[in-house]
Amino acid sequence: MTKPVKPAIIVHGGAWKIPKYLWKKSIMGCEDAVKEGYKILISGESAIKAVTEAVRIMENNQVFDAGVGALLNLIGEVELDAIVIDGENVTSGAVAVVRNIKNPILLALKVMELTPHRLLAGKGAEMFAAEVDIPKCKTTDLIVGRELKRYEQLKKNKKFKIPDAFRDKHGGTVGAVAIDINGKVAAATSTGGVPKKLPGRVGDTPIIGSGAFADNRAGAASATGWGESIMKAALSKTACDYLAKNHLAQRSATLAVKEMENRWNGLGGVIVVDKKGNPGIAHNTPQMAYARISRAGTLKSGIATR
Ligand code: ASP
């Protein structure tokens, strides 16, 4: 038996220009999630369980662009993407373009646990949800007034381009990374995507190495931001590659975001935990909401600003 290590967890609530009136709610939403995740870790349960639960809690929080409160696509519908990834053998499950599911992260976990696949999309994912007793909801159960208003405004805004969303007001994708007492890492990410996305558009979130990555030999990462640029940069894998080369956790996050910015003009942020439980967070958007509980058990949260 290996000696138990002290667990740690970080969550994020998206990287964009978070308006002041949402700061407190975003921080509180991140704190609620991180505390629950930490409880799970302290009780000796797995990192995969902790990140899934942390993300589920954030999906249920209307403040974030995931689950309830997700933004609407070009035709006013909600299509959700999510991924969980276990650092043990880099095993993952993901769903894309799912409708009428309140907690796509739970469905992603079922894909990982019960199928030979990594990613189920659209109708097939919804059929699978029914098979594994993940409840359906109405589209209206997922839509909040704030997003309906944004949708109506953006419909008229012909000049809007998707990257603008991350420099200005958008909405926060959610994610979590953790290390458990057995030294195993995991990551999870969930999103409603980007404003004005075409129906059927899949972003970085459910793609292994883009929206999340985890490998016990290096650490775990969860990304958020302009998905089309994150995919080019494989942001989460890039951050984990730096960890694997023994860069410090904070430096790995910073280098990965810099690389995405320099090479692809990308926009976004990433949280990481290394295989010793050290945290890192970096973003090149105006703000990024986060909360973390360190190996010493200390809670830190805030709106990281640059
Ligand atoms: N990365 C997400 C996407 O492009 C959006 C976000 O993180 O805010 O779908």
Q: Count CB neighbours of 93 within 10 A.
A: 27
pLDDT in tens, 20-32: 999 999 999 999 9
- Under the banding of pLDDT at 50, 70 and 90, the label for residue 159 is confident
Atom of ligand 1 nearest to the CA of 201: 9
Any ligand 1 atom below 6 A from CB of 13 = no
Q: How far apart are CA 104 and CA 93, in angstroms?
A: 11
Q: What is the pTM of this model?
A: 0.96
CA–centroid distance, residue 289 to ligand 1 (Å): 14
- Under the banding of pLDDT at 50, 70 and 90, the label for residue 302 is very high
Q: Mean pLDDT across the stretch 204-209?
A: 98
Residue 168 has pLDDT above 70, yes or no: no
Q: Which of 17-21, 159-163, 224-228 has the highest mean pLDDT?
A: 224-228
Where b means 16+ CB within 10 Å and e means fewer, 257-275 reads: bebbeeebebbbbbbbbbb
Percent of the chain predicted with pLDDT > 70: 97
Residue 154 has pLDDT above 90, yes or no: no
Which of the residues are catalytic?
A: 173
Predicted local confidence at residue 9, as pLDDT: 98
Predicted local confidence at residue 170, as pLDDT: 65
Predicted local confidence at residue 254, as pLDDT: 98
Residue 8 has pLDDT above 70, yes or no: yes
Predicted local confidence at residue 169, as pLDDT: 65
CA–centroid distance, residue 6 to ligand 1 (Å): 31
Residue 1 has pLDDT above 60, yes or no: no
Distance of CA 39 to the CA centre of its chain: 20
Predicted local confidence at residue 46, as pLDDT: 98
Any ligand 1 atom below 6 A from CB of 206 = no
Q: Mean pLDDT across the stretch 269-288?
A: 96
Where b means 16+ CB within 10 Å and e means fewer, 26-57 reads: bbbbbbbbbbbbbebbbeeebbbbbbbbbbbb
pLDDT in tens, 84-110: 999 999 999 999 999 999 999 999 999
Residue 278 has pLDDT above 60, yes or no: yes
CA–centroid distance, residue 194 to ligand 1 (Å): 6
Q: Mean pLDDT across the stretch 254-276?
A: 97
Percent of the chain predicted with pLDDT > 90: 88
Any ligand 1 atom below 6 A from CB of 173 = yes
CA–centroid distance, residue 268 to ligand 1 (Å): 8
Mutate which of 205, 207, 231, 235 to test ligand 1's pocket (most atoms within 8 Å of Cβ)?
205
- Under the banding of pLDDT at 50, 70 and 90, the label for residue 2 is low
Any ligand 1 atom below 6 A from CB of 209 = no
Any ligand 1 atom below 6 A from CB of 73 = no
Predicted local confidence at residue 27, as pLDDT: 97
Atom of ligand 1 nearest to the CA of 228: 4
In whole angstroms, how far apart are CA 275 and each of 25, 71, 219?
31, 34, 5
Q: Which residues contact 83 (CB under 8 A, 6 or more apart)?
A: 92, 93, 94, 95, 108, 187, 188, 189, 190, 205, 206, 207, 208, 211, 212
pLDDT in tens, 68-91: 999 999 999 999 999 999 999 999
Mutate which of 224, 228, 287, 290 to test ligand 1's pocket (most atoms within 8 Å of Cβ)?
224
Q: Is residue 246 within 8 Å of 275, Cβ to Cβ?
A: no
In whole angstroms, how far apart are CA 121 and each of 36, 82, 125, 199?
29, 10, 5, 13
Q: How far apart are CA 26 and CA 289, in angstroms?
A: 6
Half-sphere exposure of 68 (CA within 13 A, CB side): 13
Distance of CA 5 to the CA centre of its chain: 25
Mean pLDDT across the chain, nearest whole number? 95
Task: Enumerate domains of the chain plus CATH numbers.
Answer: 8-305 (3.60.20.30)
